[in-house]
């Protein structure tokens, strides 16, 4: 089985020492959110993950979900685990107290998402989708809908889905055929079929609330004519209990490469009763509330899988004895050395670890900014925070899911032949991680979002939210000899990112295909610079702690600096190749005629 222990010390380092989580208690509604309370929450989350969810990961993958006559059953143990999750209040963690939520900061729920994803990604899909539905309904639903449905989503007794994709359209949602007919008695009648619906049908909750994209009669063509509807599996009674079955059914579940314990269904809506969420023809705007939350959550899945992959590989490398060190056997009493002495094994481990720690810092920063965007009393500060989150969302989704896949593959490589065997658990990580690069918008779509929407929005306003603080930090520490191994390489990479940004913007205005051709490498270049910035800040905090005596934790802080130096020397230089590809332009991509493929 894969190895995982929540890295609580590193999480606390990022939350409290790097980001100063204590500042959250100055925001309205977060007065009680002290670092001590946050620590208590994540410590309990770690117990839930390690004691309950992790032991179900391998068995859940082997058993998968079953489908019979429209009924879907989750693997053995999942129902009990979910009952323990809602009994512990975990589904209400960052929800509005008005509807029964605990009102914890988004930063805390971000950490929780990482912990759950690390232990059991497939299980985490069920509460994760529900929280996305909660966010969309909370932001756009009528007061009546919120009063009726949000308390059930918050306490976890009802779950939620997002129903977008159809067989003829995934990314291009303007092609959807699902229709909504006005009904005098019940609002609307929804008819159509949706595919790839995660948690579309299961046995964990007593009701399932589907948020469905559909088109009204006479609606404008394309995405401008899409509306969003709430369609429950069971129609609620006057007492708020599940009543008559609605016209919703599951036609089948998919047999997937990974996350097999997460039910992915084909959902049929046959004149199902539904209620409009938001205004008519504004469905995409409403759905993006859920979709953007989902993209950040998928990024946390990638991060969680990377952490588990690293821990599993490191544990194996410390234990497995094969060959001897190229510099001579390190332990003469043993027939062989542990493989962790070999430089190439250390390379794989440090690549995974250095990018995982940087990704954690970057994603937690985004979580803090989500809190500021929602709670800060100054509208200008809320806008700044919202801008940074909007910019970072496609970067985090793509970069962290690429990381999850790469780290999982590296874990298999470290394990050698054992890594290819199911019982060791790391080949499952490879399969589970692969979907993260695809759903909620493929990573190529994230790159197009970055260059097509975010790069030029309001003459580069979103970009300035990132470039300015990075440039200010680098200028302030330019002469700091202790940080020279961090600041110098980051400044060079930032300069190239800025040059690439101007090039992509200029070429894209003249020929949109040029920006699209550069998009993936531009996003990867951006992500490396963002991670480098996080390493600069983490190194500064670690060095300051060492200078102050480290309070008995000198080895922790020194390791932080050492891992950061590895990133700067052996990972960040990859920015040069991405920069060269961006600058090469898109001509060679389009030379080959379609018939030649």
Of 384, 440, 514, 540, the catalytic one is 440
As to burial, measured by CB atoms within 10 angstroms (0-12 exposed, 13-18 middle, 19+ buried), residue 93 is buried
CA distance 50 to 503: 47
Helices of type H across 180-252: none
Let me know if 468 is exposed, middle or buried by CB neighbors in 10 A (0-12, 13-18, 19+): exposed
Element (H, E) at 581: helix 575-584
Answer whether 107's CB lies under 8 Å from 245's CB: no
Rounded distance, CA 101 to CA 158, Å?
14
What phi, psi does 250 have (nearest 5°)?
-100, 120
> Is residue 440 annotated as part of the catalytic site, yes or no?
yes
d(CA 149, CA 277): 12
Distance CA 436, CA 453 (A): 22
β pairing state of 187-198 and 234-236? unpaired
Q: Could you tell me which residues come within 8 angstroms of residue 555 by beta carbon, excluding any fewer than 6 positions away?
A: none
Cα(117)–Cα(2) distance, rounded to whole angstroms?
13
Residue 168, helix vs strand vs coil: coil
The distance from CA 85 to its chain's CA centroid, rounded to whole angstroms, is: 20
Nearest to 563 by CA among 331, 409, 339, 360: 360
> 529-561 burial string, b = 16+ CB within 10 Å, else e?
bbbbbbbbbbbbbbbebbeeeeeebeebbeebb
* Distance from C-alpha of 37 to C-alpha of 287, rounded to nearest angstrom: 33
Q: If we measure between CA atoms, which residue out of 562, 410, 416, 579 comes closest to residue 492?
A: 579
Partner residues linked to 452 by β-bridges = none
Q: Which helix (H) or strand (E) holds 248?
A: strand 248-253
Q: What angle do CA 220, 221, 224 make, to 5 degrees?
A: 65
Query: At what angle are helices 379-415 and 343-375 packed, to 10 degrees?
Result: 160
> Three-state DSSP class for 3?
coil
8 Å CB contact between 203 and 75: no
Q: H/E/C letters for each residue in 423-467?
A: HHCHHHHHHHHHHHHCCCCCHHHHHHHHHHHHCCCCCCHHHHHHH
Q: Which residue is it, tokens 């929280």?
A: 131
SS3 of residue 25 by DSSP: helix
Query: Among 291, 500, 259, which Cα is nearest to 394's?
Result: 291
Give Cα 48 to chain centroid, integer Å. 20
Q: Which residues are catalytic?
A: 440
């Amino acid at each position: 089985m894969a190895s995982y222990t929540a890295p609580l010390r590193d999480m606390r380092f990022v939350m409290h020492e790097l980001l100063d989580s204590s500042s959250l208690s100055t925001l309205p509604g977060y007065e009680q959110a002290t670092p001590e309370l946050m620590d208590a929450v994540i410590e309990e989350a770690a117990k839930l993950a390690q004691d309950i969810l992790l032991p179900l990961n391998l068995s859940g993958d082997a058993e998968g979900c079953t489908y019979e006559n429209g009924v879907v059953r989750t693997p053995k143990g999942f129902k009990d685990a979910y009952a323990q999750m809602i009994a512990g209040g975990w589904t209400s963690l960052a929800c509005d107290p008005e509807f029964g939520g605990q009102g914890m900061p988004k930063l805390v729920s971000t950490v929780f998402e990482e912990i759950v994803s690390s232990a059991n990604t497939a299980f985490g899909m069920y509460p994760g989708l529900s929280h996305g539905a909660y966010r969309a309904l909370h932001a756009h639903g009528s007061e009546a809908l919120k009063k009726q449905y949000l308390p059930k989503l918050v306490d976890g007794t009802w779950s939620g889905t997002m129903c977008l994709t159809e067989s003829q359209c995934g990314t291009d949602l303007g092609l959807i055929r699902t229709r909504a007919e006005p009904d005098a008695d019940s609002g609307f009648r929804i008819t159509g079929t949706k595919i790839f619906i995660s948690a579309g049908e299961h046995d964990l909750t007593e009701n399932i609330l589907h948020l469905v994209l559909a088109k009204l009669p006479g609606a404008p063509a394309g995405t401008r004519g899409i509306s969003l509807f709430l369609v429950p599996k069971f129609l609620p009674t006057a007492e708020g209990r599940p009543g008559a079955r609605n016209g919703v059914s599951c036609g089948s579940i998919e047999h997937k490469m990974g996350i097999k314990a997460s039910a992915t269904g084909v959902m049929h809506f046959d004149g199902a009763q539904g209620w409009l969420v938001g205004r008519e023809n504004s469905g995409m705007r409403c759905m993006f509330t859920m979709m953007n939350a989902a993209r950040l959550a998928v990024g946390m899945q990638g991060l969680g899988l990377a952490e588990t992959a690293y821990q599993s590989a490191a544990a194996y490398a410390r234990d497995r004895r094969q060959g001897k060190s190229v510099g001579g056997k390190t332990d003469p009493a043993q027939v062989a050395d542990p493989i962790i002495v070999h430089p190439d094994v250390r390379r794989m481990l440090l690549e995974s670890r250095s990018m995982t720690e940087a990704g954690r810092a970057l994603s937690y920063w985004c979580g803090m900014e989500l809190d500021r965007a929602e709670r800060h009393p100054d509208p200008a500060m809320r806008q700044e925070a919202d801008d940074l989150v909007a910019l970072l969302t496609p970067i985090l989704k793509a970069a962290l899911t690429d990381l999850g896949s790469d780290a999982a593959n590296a874990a298999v490589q470290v394990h050698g032949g054992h890594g290819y065997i199911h019982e060791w658990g790391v080949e499952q990580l490879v399969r589970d991680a692969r979907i993260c690069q695809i759903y909620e918008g493929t990573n190529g779509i994230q790159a197009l979002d970055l260059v097509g929407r975010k790069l030029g929005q309001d003459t580069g306003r979103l970009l300035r939210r990132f470039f300015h603080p990075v440039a200010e930090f680098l200028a302030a520490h330019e002469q700091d000899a202790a940080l020279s191994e961090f600041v110098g390489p980051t400044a060079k990479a930032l300069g190239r990112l800025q040059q690439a940004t101007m090039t992509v913007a200029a070429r894209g205005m003249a020929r949109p295909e040029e920006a699209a051709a550069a998009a993936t490498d531009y996003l990867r270049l951006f992500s490396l610079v963002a991670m480098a910035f996080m390493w600069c800040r983490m190194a500064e905090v670690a060095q300051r702690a060492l200078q102050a005596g480290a309070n008995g934790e000198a080895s922790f802080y020194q390791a932080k600096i050492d891992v950061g130096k590895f990133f700067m020397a052996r990972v960040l230089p990859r920015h040069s190749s991405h920069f060269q590809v961006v600058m090469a332009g898109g001509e060679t991509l389009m030379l080959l005629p379609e018939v030649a493929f």
